[in-house]
Structure 1
Amino acid sequence: MFVTPAYAQATAAAPGAGAAFAQFIPLILIFAIMYFLMIRPQQKRAKQHREMVAALKKGDQIVTQGGIIGKVASVRDDELEVEIANGVRVRVVRGTVAQVVSRTEPVAANA
C-alpha cells in the first residue's frame, strides 16, 4: 500500500528520458518552419542580387537603392560610374544597385 521513496524516484526517472526528447520536437519543428519560410528565401534573394551586381556592364540602365535612375558609364572593381543626365556622372558602390531596368545586348559581329 505504501510506496517507498526509493521506488517512487526510480519509476519517475525512467519515463523522463523519452519525454525529454519529446519536449524538443516542437522546437525543432519551429526552427524547420522558420528556415523554409524566412531564412531560405532570404538567402536565395541575396544570391540573385550578388549575381545581378556581378553581371553589370557598361550601358545597363539601373536603379539604385536611393532611387537614382541612370546608365552605367564605366565599371570598376567595387564601384560604378553612373550617368544620371547628359554630362552628369556619379560614382556609386556596386552593392547599392537595386535593380537593372534594361540590359544592353552585345553587338553581333558582321560575318
Structure 2
Amino acid sequence: MKERKSGLRNESSKTKRIGLFQRITAALLLPLIIIYKKVSSTFLLNLSLFWHINEGIEEIMADYVHQEMTRNWILVYLRLFLLIVIKDVFLSFVSFLNKSKNLMDSDS
C-alpha cells in the first residue's frame, strides 16, 4: 500500500503556534472558572473563552471556505459579533455578582 502524502505533516510554525494556543486556552478555562470569583477576573475568563472560540472558527474557515475575500468578511463579522457577546456576558456577570452580593449583605 502506498503511503499518502499529506500537507498536514509539514505544518508551518504559525499552524503549530495556533494549535498550541488553542490547547492552552482550552486548558485554562476550567481553572479560571474555579479559581476566580471576582468581577475583574471574569473579563479574563471571557477573553480566554471567546479567543478560543475565535481561533477554532478561524481554523474551520481556513479549511472549508476557499474564497479569501469571503473568508475575511466572515471573520470580520465573527469578531464583531464576539466583541458584542463578550460585552454582554461581562455585563451580565457583573450584574449577577452585584445582585448576589446585595442579597448576602441584606441577609447579614
| Same fold (TM > 0.5) | no
Higher relative contact order (CA 8 A, sep 6+): 2
Structure richer in helix, relative to its length: 2
Structure richer in strand, relative to its length: 1
Which of the pair has more CA radius of gyration? 1
For normalisation by structure 1, the TM-score amounts to: 0.30
For normalisation by structure 2, the TM-score amounts to: 0.30
